[in-house]
Amino acid sequence: MKLKQVVEIGKCLSNQTRVEILEWLKNPEANFPPNESGISNKEGVCVGNIQEKTGLSQSTISTYLGSMERCGLLHMVRNGKWSYFSRNEETIQEFIRSIQ
């Protein structure tokens, strides 16, 4: 993994709420209520459910999730009006290999 990407991931991990989101998404079914649509939490958790759990504003959480997706920590899939976020385990492993 390139240095720039390591740094971008580091920026995401430099904030308590973002680290918690990453942690919660290890077990999305236990940490979030079921999605309104049929989609399982395993495939991704919608922005609203993450926002509610953190207590921060909608715009802040949307910004957080966007930056976590751009650096590769999270994967996003859109379905209608919802965006579903899940961990991107491949990139996380690459990041780990870069620093260990």
Site residues for its own copies per CB under 8 A: 3-4, 6-7, 9-16, 19-20, 22, 92-93, 96, 99-100
Residue with smaller CB distance to DNA, 63 or 98: 63
- 26 and 41 in contact (C-beta within 8 Å)? no
Q: List the single partner that 74 binds among DNA, its own copies, none, CB under 5 to 8 Å by kind.
A: none
| Cα 100 to Cα 70: distance, rounded to the nearest angstrom | 23
Q: List the single partner that 56 binds among its own copies, DNA, none, CB under 5 to 8 Å by kind.
A: DNA
Residue with smaller CB distance to DNA, 81 or 97: 81
Dihedral angle of Cα 17, 80, 88, 61, to the nearest 10 degrees: -10
Instruction: State the amino acid at position 26 in one-letter form.
Output: K
| Cα 82 to Cα 1: distance, rounded to the nearest angstrom | 30
Q: Does position 63 bind DNA by CB under 7 A?
A: yes
Nearest by Cα to 28 from 55, 6, 12, 50: 50
Residues forming the site for DNA (CB under 7 A): 11, 14-15, 17, 36, 46-48, 51, 56-60, 62-63, 65-66, 76, 80-83
